[in-house]
Amino acid sequence: MSHVSVNLHLLVKPEVRGIRGNGPGSPRPPSASVRNAEPAREAKKTLEIYSVELSGTKDIAQTDKADGKEKYRGLKNRFEPRKNHQKEELKKELDLDDHKLSIKELEEKYSTNIITGLSSTQAAALLAQNGPNALTPPKETPEIIKFLKQMVGGFSILLWVGAILCWIAYGIQYSMNKSSSLDNVYLGCVLALVVILTGVFAYYQEAKSTNIMATFNKMIPQQALVIRDSEKKTVPAEQLVVGDIVEIKGGDRIPADIRLLSVQGCKVDNSSLTGESEPQARSSEFTHDNALETKNIGFYSTTCLEGTASGMVINTGDRTVIGQIASLASGVGDEKTPIAIEIEHFVHIVGGVAISIGILFFIIAVSLKYHVLDSIIFLIGIIVANVPEGLLATVTVTLSLTAKRMAKKNCLVKNLEAVETLGSTSIICSDKTGTLTQNRMTVAHLWFDNQIFIADTSEDHSNQVFDQSSGTWASLSKIITLCNRAEFRPGQENVPIMKRVVVGDASETALLKFSEVILGDVMEIRKRNHKVAEIPFNSTNKFQLSIHKTDDPNDKRFLMVMKGAPERILEKCSTIMVNGQEQPLDESTAEAFHTAYMELGGLGERVLGFCHLYLPADEFPESYSFDVDAMNFPTSNLCFVGLLSMIDPPRSTVPDAVTKCRSAGIKVIMVTGDHPITAKAIAKSVGIISANSETVEDIAKRLHIAVEQVNKREAKAAVVTGTELKDMSPEQLDELLTNYSEIVFARTSPQQKLIIVEGCQRQNAVVAVTGDGVNDSPALKKADIGIAMGIAGSDAAKNAADMVLLDDNFASIVTGVEEGRLIFDNLKKTIAYTLTKNIAELCPFLIYIIVGLPLPIGTITILFIDLGTDIIPSIALAYEKAESDIMNRKPRHKKKDRLVNQQLAIYSYLHIGLMQAVGAFVVYLTVYAQEGFTPGILTNLRVAWENGNVNDLEDSYGQQWTWYQRKYLEWTGYTAFFVGIMVQQIADLLIRKTRRNSIFRQGLFRNKVIWLGIASQIIIALILSYGLGSVTALNFTMLRPQYWFVAVPYAILIWVYDEVRKLFIRLYPGSWWDKNMYY
Amino acid sequence: DDQDEVNQNYLADEEEEAEEEARGMVVPDLEEEEEEEEGQEAEEEEIEEEKEEEEGQGPPTGNAWWQKLQTVSEYLWDPEKRMSLARTGQSWSLILVIYFFFYASLAAVITLCMYTLFLTISPYMPTFTERVKPPGVMIRPFAHSLNFNFNVSEPDTWQHYVISLNGFLQGYNDSLQEEMNVDCPPGQYFIQDGNEDEDKKACQFKRSFLKNCSGLEDPTFGYSTGQPCILLKMNRIVGFRPELGDPVKVSCKVQRGDENDIRSINYYPESASFDLRYYPYYGKLTHVNYTSPLVAMHFTDVVKNQAVPVQCQLKGKGIINDVINDRFVGRVIFTLNIET
């Protein structure tokens, strides 16, 4: 693990590139923090810093060099100090030095030749040595293991133990009496069957969602064009070896990590690595110390979008960057889901109860002079009777129902148990790009006429309300339209503008779409204003220029339009257009420009300046031939028209979703690879940093004091960069996480994402991580619930995640939280409902042992309750609506708010359960008494009752009963007891609808499924008694109709009792009663 | 963590208290069980917690066991806060009181219900008799099995039958019957109208009715001669009346095998039937001295030294003797294996 960690910290700030990439871009203006002091000078100063992104990455390399290789070393090292660490680290970093080497050195290093390539023999040897160029697939659990896992988890174990105990009991019985009843065998089989069927069901459910995801293999390129033995050959990509010279072209997936040797207009999409889908230019020059930042490396599994390139393979298979991330992800253990922990806890409780009661009664039975073997059978019987046979199936079905509901709302759950996890989530670590934002550049603000205008950045752009009447806008719009090389791919006339595919980079695309929305057919406008010359953007000029004939037939002048880095544009201007009129550019207007520029920059936006010039017709007649190399036209004294800023805007649903998370007590932390300013701006606009909270830096600036002097307690928000994070000890990180409610992590590496997740988990938080890139996959895996983006997400991310948002919409998480919390509450109700009757089913057996009554209810009958009448009602509880606004309460505490707590167990077992048992006993005793056996005579009747040779057993009236007549009466007793429980379970079901509110407030009829459940209960009972009453094997008899109503008063009593309980809980919150009776 | 523990302990106590109350109360056993469970749970949880702690803190800090023990003992009795099982005396008494009242009222409800139940059923006449009808049949002597295996020349092998029969017939002694019961006219029901709760008279069934099987002349009931007597009685059912003029008859035959294995059977009374005057039965509360009529079967000539399955059936209207599942309704099957 350690060596991987070392390596991965190299994946630095991938997002930086995404946003600020290669567009005709703009320097990021000074950060807001320096805004107040001497704008012009400050601007210049900061411009130097921010211009790095424009001029390639050379400058950044310089700034980065300062802290050198240390810079992105993960915190991880601190956690696992190792002696040989340093060495390994060194080794790894050497491996990634290839981008710094010259071609000669490379040739030497890999003993290859860039003209002739490797020889076949060399290649074969290397292949044998290093293995094929393919990712070792994540240790795929064989299907059969997955299947078996479903059969042994949590609950299932309980059932298996029950089944085995049943068979053991039968074995004992059989050894004593060859003709003993087969009930125990049946019971064991039924238990086993329940586990198997439920396992099959759960397996099927998960397989279904896994299949949707099974696309990982698509990442591997099939063929590669390679030069070997001086010949170009097409070989399977798997056979590539280090030193091979490969050629790639637009549309190819890059077959290995390659050092680019020659490049023609090549752009790559590194989204599978970084999650950022903005195309990035490649070149053969070494531009950055960091292998991930430098332009002369192409990474395995990324896509070449356009152009061609040739390169030398420097890493293959698992040694590629992506391979290392993949192995890091697979090295992170899967966390147990909270619900799995809860179920385990529940199993402990049930197991503890079962074994304690069992042993206690074993002792009692022995002291009552029962045969030891009989006592053992009692012991087993009691343990098995405690097993809630139906619960496994119920829970599984309930979870998958919720999973289905969530899938409808675009949350695809891969692991059934993860359904609940979101509900317990207390911290969401969200990636920025693509999750919180739309992942596309969009025009956000305009500045002209000394005024900032806000553009609509919503997903459809439909509502552009800024003032378009000014003459300046007319000019500006013309520049935007004309000075732009981006074009719509043809044949998309019917596609909404915002969804059309554009050929061109992100900024130009944004401008194209912006103008298309406002002005209509841009291509037509361009056609009318014929382009006669053009200088495309390059990083030296930092501007883009084109010269057009105008569409005004009366105006023979050429129009020169220009856009670029605002300060560069301003330098070239001598006038500025205000309200459509050209005015000289004086100090005050320049200052206004800077203020606007910085304000927009402070919003984390990319700013472009626009200017134009009508070339005088006399100097530039219609026939004038423009030479872009000689620049035979003026590029100064232009007319400045306006600024336009762009940002990857937040999705419109996100702010609302963040607010909801907030009110639900969930901390939303942004973890991004992007620049702190952009990150903070987005965080502010989506509410991750709320409007009125400040960071330490903000306070310092407001009070004009040094950052160190600020009382840290005053700041609610914090923006932490990867560099700062690197210097933090785990304790400091803990402190940070506890003290600040609003945190943004910027410029983080995948390794650091992992550290942040671990830090959150140390706070006992249940952590959800959202992400889309391969770089997110380790954190996704580490999180309690990893949430991948379905559309933008890379396959690796989807693989590592537990849940996939099919619409990439952060707001879907809120739905997930809501559903998760609801299912937790409802599972509680389901379990309470199920546990209650356990006592009613167990008491008869205990009484039978102690008092010697004829057995009140038989095993098979119990099964018909657990797996028959009770199943649908307990599932129906899953449809129950929330009692109060579950989104207004804090997430549950992992260790305090258990699914099954003592209150629940006590209330179910000792209160309602006992009442139920009493009610059912009354039905049973009524039946016996009316048939002739009054309760008095039943006592200690067991032995004679069960003796098949006693065929003249006297009842209370002196009547004599044959054995079979008694048996039949016993079955009638079973049926009566069954009906008694069933009737009271109806009441139990109704009271479980709520835990605190009155049922009437919840509404008796809002959950229709409950009534379906009740109907099913009654119908099943009627069928069992009247339909199958003649099938002796089932031990049911036709019960006289009046017995169905004997337990009704008890059902009402249960209802009343529970209403009183809830009333007191509501009346005296926090009281003894509340603490002890609220589950 | 501490809080957790307190929380859990607190919960645990509750349960235990509940149990304790219960102990003193209606359902002692149940509660005790639960006490135990809960104690266990609490412990389990503690252990879990501690594990977690350890994980959290890295290497465990020595004598963990001692600490654990201390925690447990403190949990059982905390002298500082004067708490047992994390609950103060006050808290304990509150719980005891509440559970006492809860279970007391539950007990009251049961009592009330049982009381109502007894109000609705008559002590003289069962509410329903359909399950006990049609009548079953049983034979005497009966000693654990329906196989009569004995050797004529070895009294030990049949002596217990004789003792059993003698004991059974004590209640039929003529003197006793004459003293207690009335001699009622044969061939008709002995109907005694009047109030339910009036004591009913019973008809005599004298031991001497059984003649050779009465044990008066032959005190060995024929066992010493290889001609065993077996008494057959019909199960009592309150209110059961055979068809008028058609008393229930008994007839025996070989159940499986050669019909001639039994060459002759004598029935006593000779009619081989239960006289109508013994019906109806009014239930044991008022019909105290009711004596079940008997039919004795004297197997005077049965094949020796082999098992002979015999089936004796009741015949008459309202009698069913072919229920598959119940081999004692209207019939009885036994085997005779008389060795010489």
Number of CB pairs, chain A paired with chain B, less than 8 A apart = 187
Q: Which pLDDT value is given to residue A14?
A: 38
Q: How far is CA A13 from CA A9, A292, A321, in A?
A: 10, 9, 15
pLDDT at A991: 93
Q: Is B311 among the domain residues?
A: yes
- Domain end call among B91, B119, B147: B119
Closest partner residue to A357 (CB to CB) among B7, B37, B49 is B37
Residues B152 and B210 in one domain: yes
Question: What CATH number is associated with residue B281?
Answer: 2.60.40.1660
Answer yes or no: do B34 and A958 touch at CB < 8 A: no
Cα A509 to Cα A481, A486, A506, A664, A720, distances in angstroms: 11, 6, 5, 38, 32
The answer to whether the bond into B269 is cis (omega within 30° of 0) is yes
Segments of chain A scoring below 50 in pLDDT: 1-94, 215-217, 219-221
Q: Tell me whether residues A959 and B36 touch, CB distance under 8 A.
A: no
- 3-state helix, strand, coil split of chain B in percent (to 5) is 40, 20, 40
If you measure CA to CA, which chain B residue comes closest to A362?
Answer: B33
Residues B107 and B241 in one domain: no
In Å, how far are A443, A915, B84 from B13, measured between CA atoms? 65, 22, 8
* pLDDT tens for each residue of B240-255: 888 777 788 899 989 8
Who contacts A336 (Cβ-Cβ below 8 Å, separation ≥6)?
none
pLDDT tens across B5-52, in order? Answer: 444 444 444 444 444 444 333 333 333 334 434 444 444 444 444 444
Question: Are B232 and B101 in the same domain?
Answer: no
In percent, how much of chain B has pLDDT > 90? Answer: 15
pLDDT score of A63? 37
Q: Domain for residue B11, yes or no?
A: no
* Residue B325 and residue A1032 in contact, taking contact as beta carbons nearer than 8 Å: yes
Same-domain check for residues B98 and B153? no
Helix (H), strand (E), coil (C) string for A1033-1060? HHCCCCCCHHHHHCCHHHHHHHHHHHHH
B181 and B292 in a single domain? The answer is: yes
Contacts B14 to A, Cβ<8 Å: 902-903, 906, 1076
Chain B residues whose CB is inside 8 A of the A918 CB are: 106, 109-110
Q: Compute the 3-state secondary structure of chain A and give helix, strand, coil in percent, each to the nearest 5.
A: 55, 15, 35
**What pLDDT sits at residue A209?**
67
Query: For residues A763 and A741, is the Cβ–Cβ distance under 8 A?
Result: no
In a domain, B225, yes or no: yes
B320 located within any domain: yes
B236 plus B318 within the same structural domain = yes
DSSP H or E run through A314: strand A303-315
Name the residue facing B326 among A906, A911, A965 (closest C-beta).
A965
Please check whether residues B334 and B266 belong to one and the same domain: yes
Cβ A500 vs Cβ A488: under 8 Å = yes
- Domain membership of residue B60 (yes or no) is no
- Identify whether A431 is a catalytic site residue: yes
Whether residue B261 sits in one domain with residue B146 = yes
Is B30 part of any domain? no
* A925 residue type, one letter: L
Interface test with B, best of A362, A968, A1058, A1076 (most B CBs within 10 A): A1076
Task: Choose among B1, B109, B121: nearest Cβ to A918.
Answer: B109
Is it the case that residue B227 has pLDDT exceeding 60? yes
| Cα–Cα distance for residue pair A574/A584, rounded to 1 Å | 6
Does residue B177 sit in the same domain as residue B280? yes
Shortest Cα distance, chain A CAs vs residue B144, angstroms: 7
Best A731, A928, A952 member to test B by mutation, with max B CBs in 10 Å, is: A952
Residue-range definition of the domain harbouring residue B100: 83-119
DSSP codes, A645-676: EEE-PBPTTHHHHHHHHHHTT-EEEEE-SS-H
* Residues in A touching B94 (Cβ below 8 Å): 1072
Interface confidence, given as ipTM, is 0.81
The answer to whether the beta carbons of residues A961 and B234 sit under 8 Å apart is no
User: Is B86 or B149 the better-scoring residue by pLDDT?
Assistant: B149
**Do both B187 and B282 map to the same domain?**
yes
Residue B157 maps to a domain: yes
8 Å CB contact between A379 and A361: yes
Bridge partners (DSSP) listed for residue B310: B254, B334
Alpha carbons within 13 A on the beta-carbon side of A49: 11
Q: Does residue B14 sit within a domain?
A: no
**Which of B99, B281, B328 lies closest to A963 in CB terms?**
B328
Q: Identify the pLDDT of residue B257.
A: 82
The CA distance from B161 to the nearest CA of chain A, in Å, is 16
- Provide the mean pLDDT of chain B: 79
The H or E element spanning position A116 is: none
Instruction: Tell me if A1053 and B127 make a contact (CB, 8 A cut-off).
Output: no
Domain count, chain B: 2
Looking at residue B51, its pLDDT comes to 41
Catalytic member of A64, A98, A431, A772: A431
pLDDT digits (tens, 9 = 90+) for A492-525: 778 888 788 887 777 888 888 888 888 888 888 8
- Please answer yes or no on whether A360 and B284 come within 8 Å at the CB atom: no
Same domain? B149 vs B112: no
Both B293 and B167 in one domain: the answer is yes
